Amino acid sequence: MQITAAQLCQLLNGKIVGNPEIKVSGPGKIEDAKQGEITFLANPKYEAFAYTTNASVILVKRDFEPKQPIKATLIQVDDVYASIALLLEKFGGGIKSQQGISSQAIVDQTASLGKEISLGHFVVIEENAEIGDNAIIFPQVFVGKNAKIGKNTILYPGVKIQHNCIVGDNCILHSNVVVGSDGFGFVPQEDNSYKKIAQTGNVVIEDNVEIGANSSIDRATMGSTIIRKGAKLDNLIMIAHNVEIGENTVVAAQAGIAGSSKIGKQCMIGGQAGFVGHIKIADGTKVQAQSGINKTINEENTAWYGSPALPYNDYLRSYAAFRKLPELMKKMRELEKRLNDQ
């Protein structure tokens, strides 16, 4: 597909600086894009590439003022990231699945299948499971007994939805996501062994949720582990039993949230952050990467950093002092020596 800068500009409600008739056929990274590609500049760290890139068109902010001549045509927009997201969708991000049910899929006769669905090779749909209209289920996906998959939801290869779990409409679960594995529940015994606690609950994933590859969402001991609508989880995330993730909260890779913790709405959680169990995190909380949260956070819209985590600015001040400790220790030893020599 080829499209002119003028057509792109109209689509994005932008303003053209340069040749409106130049054509592009796909996207490329600003540092190595080729002629005929469109790229974007949103982070000032990459501005130097705007002057050397071979891209034909660059998306920039409306207030961008080049410091050097740029040979590419510019399209000025209000929100660069939102615009590039729209274009990537238009240029066809992701792979497509052929509509229909593979002859190699195994579907229990009691399962309910919606209209215009796609089931790939070696998909297994167990008894009384429900698949919503327009769902796309790639090869080697397992959907357990009484599980429900919503409309327009995509399950990529290797996803496992265990019994009684629910996935809402317009969700995307990437390869090897496991929904409904047993929660980590054991009772210590007198002989120092552990007895397993039956995990009788389920997982409820609401609408418009996306979960990255190799993440796991444990079923509740009783009740439900809940991922609220609009939440976005990255790859390799661990959500323990009875956790609740609030609406439109985003969690980066390798984060782990222990049992029965409640994360609020519109939170932003950095990679490798860890949360102890049975705490509550207020709406709008921001947690920096590798931070450890060991207590409830009640105040909304605060930022935290460190392990154990401190309020963000307190951590920066503490770290600034910590970095000077070797120098301070050296000065203290010098003072002690001088005092001892007197």
Q: Is 241 a catalytic site residue? A: yes
Measure the CA dihedral 147/152/156/158, to 10°.
10
Residues whose CB falls within 8 Å of the CB of residue 106, separated by 6 or more in sequence, listed in order? 122, 123, 124, 125
Q: SS3 of 339, please?
A: helix
The catalytic residue among 121, 174, 241, 278 is 241
**H-helix segments, 236-282:** none
Of the candidates 104, 121, 122, 180, the residue with the CA atom closest to the CA atom of residue 149: 180
Q: Round to whole Å and give the CA distance between 141 and 160.
A: 6
The reply to whether omega before 157 is within 30° of 0 (cis) is no
Single-letter code of the amino acid located at 227? I
Residue 88 to residues 27, 52, 232, 305: CA-CA distances in angstroms? 7, 23, 18, 33
Active site residues: 241
